Structure 1
Amino acid sequence: MSKAENLVTSIKVEIDAPTSLVWEVLTDFERYSEWNSFCPELKTSGKLGDMVYMQVRIPGTDQTIPVNEYLVAYEPELLLSWEQRPTDSNKDAARRDQYINALGAERSSYFTTDLFLGINADKIMKEHGAWVKQGFDQVARDLKQRAEALYAGRK
């Protein structure tokens, strides 16, 4: 498969809140459990190159799995990214990008992607792509709900 065939892309949501507030929600890692049903736990220093320790919930279950990746992009109000790098014991690799775009002073949009890389990319896409897509779509909906509620409460 080509790289494009190993790319999971969430739905794109329009959010009635400015990019600054959407960014605030995305980078308030300690509060993920309050709004993010796909990734209810995330710990990181927020510094480029540092580890991102996550618990990811498989959609439709109560099962969470640990995912440890590296923070590789931190562009306020635009892009937040981390990636899994292959190791001797685990050849899996992926890159997750989360995009925020301004749609005006008080509106924004969000979507996220995951590109499966490395020697196992085709297999990972086949076995996990559907539930990752389902989880990412939920993150987009959860983020929209959280950001809009916070924004309405601050007006």
Structure 2
Amino acid sequence: MQLEWMKSAKTLAEDPVEGFDPEAVTVSEVFEIAAPARIVWGLLTDLPNYNAWNPFCIRADGKIELGHAVSMTLINYAAPGSLFPNCEFISSIVPERQISWDLPNDPAWPYPARRDQVIEPTGEESCRYFSTDAFLGTNGIHVFRFAGPWVKRAFDDTGRALKARAEALYAAEKKA
């Protein structure tokens, strides 16, 4: 699955530090959600309440504004029973369609990445959701080989939980 930014991204040959390698992308399952895109968007942008529904990201703080940091506490699927901190920066906001954040290259942590969460409306009361994580630069393929399987599991768990939460909220809204 290739998103619009991926089509115009610099290649590894053009940018070995943060270039895009199509072989180093984790893609979640695609989730059909029986709720409008606005409900899903509301959940994805309500960072203080991630812990109410998200089994992977149990804490998120930050502003949903371009360039702003989002500090997260994540379940470490590679070391069960442990947590790890993660800080990424909002890089794309398309209301009710997409939110993305980047982990920029840093000499202390030379593993840049970009995560996209995508919502595709499929009707007035339904949408589709999926998430990708592109591991960038020459280290990206190595990170993908190590982390790709557990990142996919985490993204799939998140997608299932997002679907359940969005559908429950929408069912309650329709009853009210």
With normalisation by structure 2, the TM-score equals 0.85
Match of 1:107 among 106, 121, 126: 126
Q: Is the 8 A contact 2:92 2:100 kept in 1?
A: yes
Q: Which protein has the larger Cα radius of gyration, Structure 1 or Structure 2?
A: 2
How many angstroms does 1:5 deviate by? 1.2
Alignment deviations for residues 50-87 of structure 1 (CA, whole Å, 9 cap, x no partner): 11111111238231111111100111100000000011
Asked if 1:56 corresponds to 2:74, the answer is yes
Q: Give the AA of the match of 1:34.
A: A
Aligned residue in 1 for 2:9: none
Match of 1:40 among 55, 58, 61: 58
Work out the number of aligned pairs and report it: 155
Q: Give the AA of the match of 2:40.
A: V
CA separation in 1, counterparts of 2:86 and 2:93?
19
RMSD: 1.4
**Structure 1 gap segments, 5+ residues each:** none
Q: Give the AA of the match of 1:14.
A: E
Q: Is the 8 A contact 2:21 2:137 kept in 1?
A: no
Aligned residue in 1 for 2:32: 14
How many angstroms does 1:137 deviate by? 0.5
Q: Give the AA of the match of 1:122.
A: I
Alignment of 1:83-122 (within 5 A): 83-122=102-141
Calculate percent identity across the aligned residue pairs: 38
**Structure 2 gap segments, 5+ residues each:** 1-11, 13-19
CA separation in 2, counterparts of 1:62 and 1:40?
13
Q: Give the AA of the match of 2:99.
A: L
Alignment deviations for residues 77-122 of structure 1 (CA, whole Å, 9 cap, x no partner): 0000000001121111000000001110000010000000023112
Q: Is the 8 A contact 1:13 1:140 kept in 2?
A: yes
CA separation in 2, counterparts of 1:45 and 1:61?
29
Q: Give the AA of the match of 1:11.
A: E
With normalisation by structure 1, the TM-score equals 0.96
CA separation in 2, counterparts of 1:107 and 1:95?
26
CA separation in 2, counterparts of 1:107 and 1:29?
22
CA separation in 2, counterparts of 1:73 and 1:64?
26
Q: Is the 8 A contact 2:24 2:140 kept in 1?
A: yes
Asked if 1:123 corresponds to 2:166, the answer is no
CA separation in 1, counterparts of 2:127 and 2:83?
30
Match of 2:98 among 64, 79, 91: 79
Deviating above 2 A after TM superposition, structure 1's stretches of 4 or more consecutive aligned residues are: 58-62
